[in-house]
């Protein structure tokens, strides 16, 4: 089985120019704990979690840009990667989600939940 068989193709993203509060609102509304950060020029440039955003609100304020609190070193996978290899990557590094890059562009996201859904039919 490949990553493309389990990934979510409809990816919820936030913009690098969004404030931490607006990013947090997106995550809460969509019931997700983190999201890829995109820019108009470069596409995927980072990842951010609800923890990152809550911490930023407490320390630097609600209007601080997401680009200043996101994780810039992003590990990604391709859609043709073996799903078991992606699962091992998630588990060995304690990632909750991995962006899926297809043809240089964000093509999906693979989360722990996606793997559970496929592997155990949950």
Query: Could you please report the per-residue DSSP string of 67-115?
Result: GGTSB-S---B-TTSBHHHHHHHHHHHT-SEEEEEETTEEEEEEEHHHH
Give the model's pLDDT for residue 48: 98
Give the model's pLDDT for residue 1: 94
Residue 32's SS3 state is coil
Q: For residue 120, is pLDDT > 90?
A: no
Kindly state the percentage of the chain with pLDDT values over 70.
100
Section 56-83 average pLDDT: 95
Tens-place pLDDT, residues 7-38: 999 999 999 999 999 999 999 999 999 999 99
Q: For residue 115, is pLDDT > 90?
A: yes
Alpha-carbon separation of residue 9 from 67, 68, 69, 86, 110 (angstroms): 24, 27, 25, 16, 9
Tens-place pLDDT, residues 90-106: 999 999 999 999 988 99
């Amino acid at each position: 089985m490949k990553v493309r068989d389990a990934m979510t193709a409809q990816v919820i993203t936030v913009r690098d120019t969004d404030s931490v509060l607006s990013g947090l609102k997106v995550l809460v509304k969509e019931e997700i704990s983190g999201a890829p950060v995109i820019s108009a020029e470069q596409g995927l440039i980072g990842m951010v979690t609800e923890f990152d955003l809550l911490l930023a609100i407490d320390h630097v304020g609600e209007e601080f840009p997401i680009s200043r609190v996101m994780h810039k070193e992003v590990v990604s996978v391709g859609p043709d990667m073996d799903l078991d290899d992606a699962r091992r990557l998630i588990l060995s590094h304690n990632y909750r989600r991995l962006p899926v890059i297809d043809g240089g562009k964000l093509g999906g996201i693979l989360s722990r939940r996606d793997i559970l859904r496929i592997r155990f039919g949950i």
